[in-house]
Amino acid sequence: MKESSAQVLADRNADMSTKHLMMRIKEIPKTGYAFGHQDATAYGMGWKNNGNDNRSDVHDVTGDFPGVYGFELGHLELGHTQNLDTVNFKLMGNLIKKAHKNGGIITLSWHPDNPVTLKSAWDPSPAVSEVLQGGALHPKYRSWLIKVADFMKSLKSDSGKPIPVVFRPYHEMNGSWFWWGHGNCTPEEFKRLWIETFEFLTINNNVHNLLYCYSTDAIKDEGEYLKFYPGDEYVDILGIDLYHKNSTEEYIQQLNNNLNILAKIAKKKKKPYAMTEGGLNMVTVDNWWTEVLDKNITDKGISWALFWRNAWPNHYYVPFKGQKSSPDFKKFQKLPNVLFLKKLKKIN
C-alpha cells in the first residue's frame, strides 16, 4: 500500500464533512482521548428525554457533556419509530444534530434483528449466507439497508450540510453472541457481509457521510483481531470493545495488552483507533476513572473511549448525581488529556 493511500477514506466519494471528521479523529491523540457515552442525551438514570431536554447524566455530574455520542440503530431496519431501547428515531436525529452542532462526534452502532428468525440480534441462528448476494433473503436485507441509508442521509445540519458519523456495524464479531459472530458464519461470509453492506450504502444508495469502524470484542492476539477484517479499503477506523467484567487486575491487564495490540495493528495500517465500547457496570470501584481507566489507556494513542448506556439501576456505565464514583469522575473530567465536549470542540 502506498503511503498516501492510507489517507484516503474507504468511501472514495465521502463528503467534505466526512473527511473533516476523519481529520479531527486523527488529530485527537495529539492532545489525549475523547470521552464518549452511549445514548448520553437520550435518557439517564431516572429520566428520559421528552424532546426538549438538554441533559445527560455526565453533565449533571461534571457540568460538561461527552465529546463522543453513541446512538443505536437496532429496529430501524424494521421500520419502527423507536429503537430496541425505546429511543425514538426522530428524537435521535435531533440529538445527533445538536451534538454535532456543539462540536461532538457521533458514532452509530446497529443491532439488527436476525433476518432469518426475526428474533433479536442475539439470536445466533445462522443467517449471513442468506442475506448475501444469491441468498434467499438478499432482497429483504437490502430493504433493511435502505432504511439505514435513508436515516444516514437524513442527518443534516441547519445549513443543510451532511452530518458525518462513525458507523460501527456488525461489532464484536469475534464473539459468538450475534448472528454475524464467530461460529455463526465463516470469516469469509462476514467479510462479504461487510463489503456488500459498504457497497450497497455507498454505491447504490449514495450515502457519503460515514466513516466505517471495524470493532471486535476483547482479543487474545493480532490474529483474532484480523480474522474477520474485510480489508483496509473498507475500513477507516479500528475499534475494540473492552468491558471490566472480572477483577480489576484482569481488566488492567486486558486494557494494556489489547490496546497495545490494537495500536500496533492500527499504526501499521495508518488508521486511527478507539475503545469503541466499555466500562464497569454500576461503576463499583470509587476511583475507577482515574486509577483503573485513565492510567491504563492514556498512553495508547486511542482517539476516544466510549462507555455504555445508563439504562437501569443495575445496568449503567457512567455515574449520575450521587453515584459513588462521581467525585473521581469529576477529577477525570478535569484531566488535561481527557476530552469532554468543551475540550474536544477546540479540535476542529
The site for ligand BMA (CB under 6 A) is made up of 72, 74, 84-85, 111, 308-309, 311
Q: Which residue is nearest to ligand BMA (CB)?
A: 72
Q: CB of residue 99 vs ligand BMA: minimum separation in angstroms?
A: 17
Q: CB of residue 280 vs ligand BMA: minimum separation in angstroms?
A: 14
Q: Between 111 and 192, whose beta carbon lies closer to ligand BMA? A: 111
Q: Between 15 and 72, whose beta carbon lies closer to ligand BMA? A: 72
Q: Where are the alpha helices (DSSP H) in 102-173?
A: 128-131, 138-154
Q: Between 180 and 200, whose beta carbon lies closer to ligand BMA? A: 180
Q: Between 73 and 266, whose beta carbon lies closer to ligand BMA? A: 73
Q: CB of residue 311 vs ligand BMA: minimum separation in angstroms?
A: 5
Q: CB of residue 312 vs ligand BMA: minimum separation in angstroms?
A: 8
Q: Between 234 and 317, whose beta carbon lies closer to ligand BMA? A: 317
Q: CB of residue 80 vs ligand BMA: minimum separation in angstroms?
A: 13
**HEC letters along the chain:** CCHHHHHCCCCCCCCHHHHHHHHHHHHHHHCCEEEEEECCCCEECCEECCCCCCCCHHHHHHCCCCCEEEEECCCHHHCCCECCCCCEHHHHHHHHHHHHHCCCEEEEEECCCCCCCCCCCCCCCCCHHHHCCCCCCHHHHHHHHHHHHHHHHHCECCCCCECCEEEEECCCCCCCCCCCCECCECHHHHHHHHHHHHHHHHHHCCCCCEEEEEEECCCCCHHHHHCCCCCHHHCCEEEEEEECCCCHHHHHHHHHHHHHHHHHHHHHHCCCEEEEEEECHHHCCCCHHHHHHHHHHCCCCCCEEEECCCCECCECCCCCCCCCCHHHHHHHHHCCCEECHHHHCCCC
Q: Between 312 and 348, whose beta carbon lies closer to ligand BMA? A: 312
Residues recorded for the chain: 348
Q: CB of residue 147 vs ligand BMA: minimum separation in angstroms?
A: 17
Q: CB of residue 234 vs ligand BMA: minimum separation in angstroms?
A: 24
Q: Between 72 and 294, whose beta carbon lies closer to ligand BMA? A: 72
Q: CB of residue 55 vs ligand BMA: minimum separation in angstroms?
A: 19
Q: Between 72 and 130, whose beta carbon lies closer to ligand BMA? A: 72
